[in-house]
Structure 1
Amino acid sequence: MTGWNQFVGVTSFDEGTLARHYCAVKKTARMGAFQLAHASCPQHAQFEKSPNTAPKCLSANEKTVHVVAHFRAAPPASMSGRFHPLFLARDYEKCVVARGKCRLEAPPEEYKPLFTVVDFPSFGFRTMFGSWVVNRVMHPVSTPEFDTLLMFHAPGMGVVNLAEQFALDPALTREIAHELGVDHPAVRGQDIIMSTDLVVTFKRQGGGLQRHAYAVKQAKDLTPRVVEKLAIEQSYWTKRRTPWSLILDTNLPRQLIANMDLIMEFAEEGRLPCGARPARDVTAWIVPHLGTGAPLRTVCSRCDAALGLARGTALSVAYHLAVQGTLPLDLSGAFLPNATLKPIHAVA
């Protein structure tokens, strides 16, 4: 899993201390401390998605959809506080297990999350995200969750599976809540199914797989009650012998996410504005010119002129190569079109 831990630091929670670079959360007598994942990267300008972003293409018949549909409209006042009836803890066996939801052992493209973005009203962004890693539409229900997914789609992360909105067994979460002396999450007096925002499976360098659970939150939302819920979640995964970390929106690598949002549309070769042969010609032309010190947009513009291609074709191919990891660009550095290319090596 080379490369993934350069963005999110992870240590074993059982060690009892927080590793260097981790954010600290105030301890309580009942819960102790729980660990926060820290994404180390240079400070760059905040990348903001347009609130009016509309989906370019979203077809239920496509195996993968490399576009994003954002929903921003706030729900009507009459819908505030509503919850999906299938999310009650008493219905876990019937509505999660029996329906085959949240099965980490299932093929990545067949995974079913506990809920989707259309199951309940929400303020802010809700996103349908076509993943080229798991070959299905994913359902991050907040902007930080969407940004985290983009981060884990970056080349070199070693990710083989992503499972969002993973349901936690209420029998165990109730037991943990009792042990910690905190109230189990409930709505109108009825316990609900807790969930983990994201479970990521990484491929180890020496072979084998490693699973890691993540909660994704906004720093401003860490109220005492949210801390109690996170403590239950952390203990759940500790009992399951699975590492768990908290990712805060303030610690995400913003420039990496901005570049991934830019190039994600070209993850599949079929979405390029040219055929396979011109794409190979562009690749063969770009690679020898990477060491000129010119920005990517300039190199690609010269390539279009040299090969007689439509303007922007070479840049699209470069984006495709970058997202596939074939062109080893520094996606966490400068904004990609303006980046000065000084790769360690290049593969034609």
Structure 2
Amino acid sequence: MIIKRYQVTEKRIAKWIKEGRGTGQGASYLPWLTIHDTSSIGLSSRPPGVTTGRIHHLLSNNEAAAFYQAEWSPAVVDIREQFPLPRSETRRIASEMGVFHPRDHGVDVVMTTDLLLDVRGHDKWLSFALPSGQERRLLAIACKSDDVFGDARALDKLEIERRYWASRGVMWTLLTASQLCRARMLKLQWLMEWFWLDHMARERVPAFLAGCQTVLAHLPVASTSTAGAFLSGLDGTYGWMPGTALSMVRHLAARKRVIMDTEGPFDAWGPLSQIRLPDAVVAAAKVA
């Protein structure tokens, strides 16, 4: 549930339109709503986007779960959150439905879609929405809690949104919390935190990246029974601080230079097979 921090007015809407909110693509896109404009019941967040190269404004855990999955998908080429719908269109649709347009203190609000994705090709995660072999297209996603089906007013708003996108030939889908695996979100977030190395002192980065190469060199010939033993062994052998090898693996996994399962948490006592090289790399090594 999203609570506005201040009253919506025509003046504020005009100001946001003038600022260019809801326009642009990739790094230049400006979301209609930011976390500074709302008080979310749930966790709002501002993760840096790898796909877009900008900070994203996510207003709920459900949005975050869908966002990280979109980030991870190789088929998603752009992500726009809090995408505004023209009031002239949503007003028309509400009138056709015989329902009230969403309002705040007597002012028709600008309705938004939680995530608007540009998709090229196909990906397993998108199988719920896109047929195999589909060319580049838009996909609009509403991310809601499971109790949305018991809220008649919320369903009216979603129907306005669905009809808007249908009128433009854009596929729209509703994802609820039960469809958005929280464990996967946490795992992807855990990995993506190490995609960038901005939090590391600049002078330490070359040594860290050299260490990543060391991890890659040891992984194919490792004989330890657990992932934790492999990582702690590298820390000890090279005099790294405890946990350094794991950070390197997270960076490599975020960059997709190694593969880690995204369905659950990393288990240090689990098998080393949790960390593996991409099949193409393994095949090339065998040929060599």
Shorter chain as denominator, the TM-score bin is 0.7 to 0.9
Q: Find 2:215's aligned residue among 261, 264, 285.
A: 285
- Number of equivalenced pairs: 264
Are 1:127 and 2:45 an aligned pair? yes
Specify the code of the residue in structure 2 equivalent to 1:197: D
Within 5 Å, give how 1:146-161 maps onto structure 2.
Answer: 146-154=64-72, 156-161=73-78
The corresponding residue for 2:109 is 192
Matched, 1:345 2:284: no
C-alpha distance 319-347 of structure 1, shift in aligned 2 (>3 A): farther
Identity %: 26
Please tell me the residue identity of whatever aligns with 1:226.
Answer: A
Contact (CA 8 Å) 1:113, 1:163: kept in 2 or not?
Answer: yes
TM-score (norm 1): 0.67
Q: Is residue 211–residue 248 contact of structure 2 (8 Å, CA) maintained in 1? A: no
CA distance in 2, matches of 1:114, 1:81: 13
Change beyond 3 A, Cα 1:109–1:302: same
Structure 2: 5+ residue runs without aligned partners?
A: 123-132, 283-288
Matched residue of 1:215: which SS? strand
Aligned to 1:301, which of 232, 240, 249?
232
Equivalent position of 2:8 in the other structure: 85
Match of 1:25 in 2: none
**Separation in structure 2 between the aligned mates of residue 241 and residue 91 of structure 1, nearest angstrom:** 30
> Against the structure 1 CA distance between its residues 209 and 338, is the aligned structure 2 distance closer, same or farther, given a 3 Å change threshold?
farther
Under a length normalisation based on structure 2, what TM-score does the superposition of the two structures give?
A: 0.79
Please report how far the alpha carbon of residue 268 of structure 1 lies from its aligned counterpart in structure 2 after TM superposition. 1.3
Indicate yes or no: 2:26 matched with 1:100.
no
Does the C-alpha gap of structure 1 residues 341 and 243 become closer, same or farther in structure 2, counting only changes over 3 Å?
Answer: farther
- 1:14-25 to structure 2, matched below 5 A, reads none
Q: What secondary structure, in the 3-state scheme, does the structure 2 residue paired with 1:98 have?
A: helix
CA shift, 1:230, in A, is 0.3
Instruction: Tell me how large the CA RMSD over aligned residues is.
Output: 2.9
State how far apart, in whole Å, the 2-side matches of 1:225 and 1:142 are: 19
The change in CA–CA distance for 1:168 and 1:81 in structure 2 (over 3 A counts) is closer
Superposition map of 1:51-66 within 5 A = none
Answering whether residue 125 of structure 2 is matched by residue 181 of structure 1, we say no
Q: Partners of 2:234 and 2:114 in 1: how far apart?
A: 43
Q: CA deviation at 1:235?
A: 0.6
Q: Is residue 296–residue 336 contact of structure 1 (8 Å, CA) maintained in 2? A: yes
Distance (whole Å) between structure 2 residues aligned to residue 345 and residue 269 of structure 1: 26
| Residue type of the alignment partner of 2:177 | D
After TM superposition, give the deviation of residue 319 of structure 1 in Å.
Answer: 0.1
| AA aligned opposite 2:65 | D
Moved more, 192-201 or 295-304: 295-304
Give the helix-richer structure, 1 or 2: 2
Identify the residue that residue 17 of structure 1 maps to in structure 2. Answer: none
SS at match of 1:132: coil
1:221 aligns with 2:144: no
- Distance apart, 1:337 and its partner CA: 4.3
- CA shift in 2, pair 1:82/1:252, >3 Å: closer
Counterpart-to-counterpart distance in 2, 1:165 and 1:331: 26
Q: Deviations over 1:73-115 (max 9, x none)?
A: xx9xxxx7764435x5x975x3454322212xx2411211111
- Structure 1 unaligned segments of length 5 or more: list them: 1-74
Aligned to 1:262: 190
**Letter paired with 1:177:** A
Distance 1:95 1:144, change over 3 A: same
CA 1:269–1:189: 2 relative to 1, 3 Å: closer
